[in-house]
Structure formats: C-alpha cells, structure tokens
C-alpha cells in the first residue's frame, strides 16, 4: 500500500503511539550485500532518518527516539568511527534548518563528552537552534548505553542521599526516571527494530518495560515511512494491559 492509504488507515484504526523508539539496524549488511564499504551503508541510512522524521510528523507522533551510536560502537575500527562522526556533522549541517522549519526539537542523548570537538559543537548547535520547537521531539541517542544510564542515575541518587538532599524513602521509580536522559518524555509505546534482529541491544532498558515490540525485516537504509506506518498499524492491533487482565 502507499503511504497516504496507510496513513488514512492509521487515523481511523485506533490509538496512536505517542512515543516511538527505533533501533536503526542493518547499515553494514546493506553495504556488504552491495559489496560497498560499511560507511556507505551509514550514509544511505541518513535517508531513513529523514523518512521516519517526516512520517512521524505526518502521523502525529509526539516523540521519536533513534538509537544512532552505542557506547559499544566505540570499539569499532577508528576509520568507521571517524566516518560516523563525519556523517553526524554532515547530517546536522544538512538537516538543521529543515528540522527547525518543521517544528522538530532535537535532543542528543548519551555520553556526549566522548564526541570529538567538531561533532560536539554541531550537536550543541542543533539542540540550541531547535530548543523551542514542539511539533516533534527527536531524541538521537549518541554514545549511549542503557546500563550506563541507569548506573549514572543511581550514582546521582546516592550522592543526593549522602548530601541530605534526598531521603532513602523518596527513592522510587519516579526518582529514577527523573534522572535518566529521557527525563520529561513518556516511555516509548512502540519499539521498532529493523533488519530482523530480535534484541534490544542495551537500549532504554528501564523505559521499555511495557513497550510493544515490532521487528521489521527491512534493513535500515531501505526503511521508509510506509514501513513506519505498517509498524504503527501493527501496534494499533495490540491489547496493552500493563500487567492487568482485560475485562
């Protein structure tokens, strides 16, 4: 089906996910199947980012979270890391004005101190440029690992308790959530993973507690808004009980 037909079905089909998270997987495989260098797969994957951002806006999604670069990815060859950082700078330079015009607020989440100065400057620039927008929150997770995020939150809580700023009986789920990178965002309603892999790969472990999962066989560089809308339609068929029994 075409994107407009699917979008029409979504609007009359059921509740819309407010927050969609995506593990963008398959860039390397896409390049390997075409006998191209891995960085070419990452470059092609930039088109997928634009597709899902525009598709999310059209569908009325409020928050879109994209897993772009994990802490574990720092272990990849230096040439690939360099290419990824260059692509990050290029994406921001190319898309920042359009994102601002579309009302997208960009948040880069993760251990940003590990970024090289040019990449960090580009990240800070696009966040400042789009800070007042409200049509869509775009969370781009860079140098991110969920276990490290939870450890960071626990350390902050421990420091606050030790300083007398927080009582132990005040440490609850809300206290932890408020100290995660996603503070202020609702937990994802839908997680999409591309390329057919069935792992969450240390992504949003806390936040995904009751998230619906959709595994797409499509490699990320080939993922379009049609695939996004198919995932949303699949989500709309789910019976979300959050541990309760349906009446």
Q: Is 73 labeled as catalytic in the residue annotation?
A: yes
DSSP assignment of the chain: --HHHHHHHHHTTSPPPSEEEEE---HHHHHHHTT--HHHHHHHHHHHHHHHHHHHHHHT-SEEEEEEEEGGGGGS-HHHHHHHHHHHHHHHHHHHHHHHHTTEEEEEES-GGGS-HHHHHHHHHHHHHTTT--SEEEEEEEEE-HHHHHHHHHHHHHHHHHTTSS-GGG-SHHHHHTTSTTTTSPPPSEEEE-TT----TTSSTTTTTT-EEEE--S-GGG--HHHHHHHHHHHTT----TTPPP-
Q: In which residue are the tokens 């079905």 written?
A: 9
Q: Which residue has the tokens 């609850």?
A: 172
**Residue 219, Cβ neighbours under 10 Å: how many?**
23
What pTM was computed for the model?
0.94
Tally of CB atoms within 10 A around 17: 26
**Residue 189, C-beta contacts closer than 8 angstroms, at least 6 positions apart:** 17, 18, 19, 20, 211, 212, 235, 240
Contact 220, 29 (CB under 8 A): no
Q: What is the pLDDT of residue 108?
A: 97
pLDDT value at position 243?
64
CA atoms within 13 A on the CB side of 169: 0
Q: What does the angle CA 112 – CA 90 – CA 199 come to, to the nearest 5 degrees?
A: 55
How confident is the model at residue 12, as a pLDDT?
A: 81
Q: How far apart are CA 67 and CA 48, in angstroms?
A: 13
Q: Tally Cβ neighbours within 10 Å of residue 74.
A: 13
Q: Which residues of the chain have pLDDT under 70?
A: 242-247
**In this structure, what token pair is assigned to residue 208?**
């995904």
**Which conformational region is residue 14 in: left (phi greater than 0), alpha (psi within -120 to 50 degrees), or beta?**
left
Question: Residue 245: its pLDDT value, please?
Answer: 57
Catalytic residue, candidates 27, 73, 113, 239: 73
Structural domains of the chain, ranges and CATH numbers in brackets:
3-9+16-235 (3.40.1180.10)
234 is catalytic: no
């Amino acid at each position: 089906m075409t994107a407009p037909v699917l979008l029409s079905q979504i609007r009359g089909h059921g509740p819309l996910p407010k927050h969609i998270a995506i593990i963008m997987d398959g860039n390397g495989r896409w390049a390997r199947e075409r006998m191209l260098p891995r960085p070419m797969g990452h470059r092609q994957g930039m088109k997928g980012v634009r597709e899902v951002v525009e598709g999310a806006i059209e569908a009325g999604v409020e928050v879109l979270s994209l897993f772009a670069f994990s802490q574990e990815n720092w272990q990849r060859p230096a040439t690939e890391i360099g290419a990824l950082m260059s692509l990050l700078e290029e994406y921001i330079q190319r898309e920042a004005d359009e994102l601002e015009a579309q009302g997208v607020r960009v948040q880069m989440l993760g251990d940003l101190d590990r970024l090289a100065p040019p990449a960090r400057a580009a990240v800070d620039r696009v966040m400042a440029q789009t800070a007042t927008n409200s049509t869509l929150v775009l969370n781009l997770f860079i140098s991110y690992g969920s276990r490290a995020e939870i450890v960071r939150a626990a350390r902050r809580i421990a420091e606050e308790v030790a300083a007398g700023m927080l009582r132990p009986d005040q440490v609850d789920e809300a206290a932890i959530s408020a100290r995660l990178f996603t503070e202020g965002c609702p937990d994802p309603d839908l997680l999409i993973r591309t390329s057919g892999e069935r792992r969450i790969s240390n992504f949003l472990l806390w936040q995904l507690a009751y998230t619906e999962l959709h595994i797409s066989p499509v490699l990320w560089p080939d993922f379009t808004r049609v695939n996004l809308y198919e995932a949303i339609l699949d989500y709309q068929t789910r019976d979300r009980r959050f541990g309760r029994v349906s009446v």
